[in-house]
């Protein structure tokens, strides 16, 4: 399928696909079409057995500078309600395969929220994360008050959301928002490297492990523990569990079949 605002790379590395946000002149501002294309591409990759991990990236200057302000500026509340733009985000949240954001430059507003919708974040030293919606008379609408607070805690989330101040990649790392900071020329390579490490594992185990970690965001501890336990037991129905444990005992590398 061909898209206007994204580029799909089916094989960045063995079992690793990539989706590049591609509206460079607009700093990859996330208009409705881009988000819909992103959802469609991710759902296709999710269904593709040749893909075990996905990297989302922009370019050196911007991951994404937020939702498209020009597209939203004239809208009323009922227009926004009818457009229901965040249902696309809900679908992306349901992608089963691990997604890594490779971030350089601006990750602002919806751009920052999109990185938080991913499972891990690798950033270049030049990356800047922020929720500047307050500067344009609104507030974050795609998880910025929720996922950000869970990631970095109340004090820093309040400061970012109420002042619109950006934080650097180093600050984001120190706050627990992102996984790794690397020189700008390496941000994509490092994200691919991380994706390859994940893609070497049993895809079924990865899927259930991702689902279990995400469950912790919206359940109490006891419910989350039961959920985790069920997924743990379920994995004993897989050939990959037999192979993984046999390989450990026989001191060899496992050959996971996604079965």
In whole angstroms, how close is the CB of 156 to ligand CAA at the nearest point?
A: 18
Q: Which stretch binds ligand CAA (CB under 6 A): 109-117, 187-195, 231-239, 248-256?
A: 109-117
| CA dist 214 → 77, 95, 107, 189, 207 (Å) | 30, 12, 22, 26, 11
Q: Which stretch binds ligand CAA (CB under 6 A): 105-113, 194-202, 219-227, 251-259?
A: 105-113
Is residue 18 within the footprint of ligand CAA (CB under 6 A)? no
Q: Among 175, 179, 61, 28, which residue's Cα sits nearest to residue 127?
A: 61
Structure token pair of residue 76: 């009323």
Q: Among 156, 104, 107, 166, which residue's Cα sits nearest to residue 135?
A: 166
Is residue 133 within the footprint of ligand CAA (CB under 6 A)? yes
Q: Is 67 a catalytic residue?
A: yes
Name the catalytic one among 110, 130, 143, 144: 110
Q: Is the dihedral angle over the CA atoms 160, 165, 168, 174 positive or is it negative?
A: negative
Is residue 26 within the footprint of ligand CAA (CB under 6 A)? yes
Q: How far apart are CA 49 and CA 204, in angstroms?
A: 11
In whole angstroms, how close is the CB of 125 to ligand CAA at the nearest point?
A: 17
Instruction: Write out the binding residues for ligand CAA, residues 179-198 only, by CB under 6 A.
Output: none
Q: Is 113 a catalytic residue?
A: yes
Q: Which are the contacts of 103, defined by CB distance < 8 A and separation ≥ 6?
A: 57, 58, 63, 115, 121, 122, 123, 124, 127, 129, 169, 178, 187
Name the catalytic one among 65, 102, 113, 143: 113
Is residue 21 within the footprint of ligand CAA (CB under 6 A)? no
Residues with active-site annotation: 67, 110, 113, 133
Contacts with ligand CAA by CB under 6 A lie at 26-27, 29, 65-70, 106, 108-110, 113, 132-133, 136, 140-142, 144
């Amino acid at each position: 399928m061909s898209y206007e605002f994204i580029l799909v790379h089916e094989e960045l590395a063995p079992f690793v696909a990539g989706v590049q946000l591609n509206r460079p002149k607009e700093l990859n501002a996330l208009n409705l079409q881009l988000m819909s294309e992103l959802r469609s591409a991710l759902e296709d990759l999710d269904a593709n057995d040749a893909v075990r991990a996905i990297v989302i990236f922009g370019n050196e200057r911007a991951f994404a500078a937020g939702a498209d302000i020009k597209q939203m500026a004239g809208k009323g509340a009922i227009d926004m309600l009818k457009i229901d733009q965040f249902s696309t985000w809900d679908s992306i949240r349901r992608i089963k395969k691990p997604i890594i954001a490779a971030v350089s430059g601006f990750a602002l507003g919806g751009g920052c929220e999109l990185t938080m919708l991913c499972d891990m974040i690798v950033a270049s030293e030049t990356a800047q994360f922020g929720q500047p919606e307050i500067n344009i008379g609104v507030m974050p609408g795609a998880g910025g008050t929720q996922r950000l607070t869970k990631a970095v805690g109340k004090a820093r989330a309040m400061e970012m959301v109420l002042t619109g101040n950006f934080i650097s990649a180093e600050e984001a790392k120190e706050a627990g928002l992102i996984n790794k900071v690397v020189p700008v020329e390496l941000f994509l390579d490092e994200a691919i490297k991380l994706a390859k490490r994940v893609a070497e594992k049993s895809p079924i185990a990865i899927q259930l492990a991702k689902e279990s970690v995400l469950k912790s965001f919206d359940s109490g501890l006891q419910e989350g523990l039961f959920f985790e336990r069920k997924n743990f037991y379920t994995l004993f129905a897989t050939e990959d569990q037999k192979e993984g444990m046999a390989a450990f005992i026989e001191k060899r590398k496992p050959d996971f079949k996604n079965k």
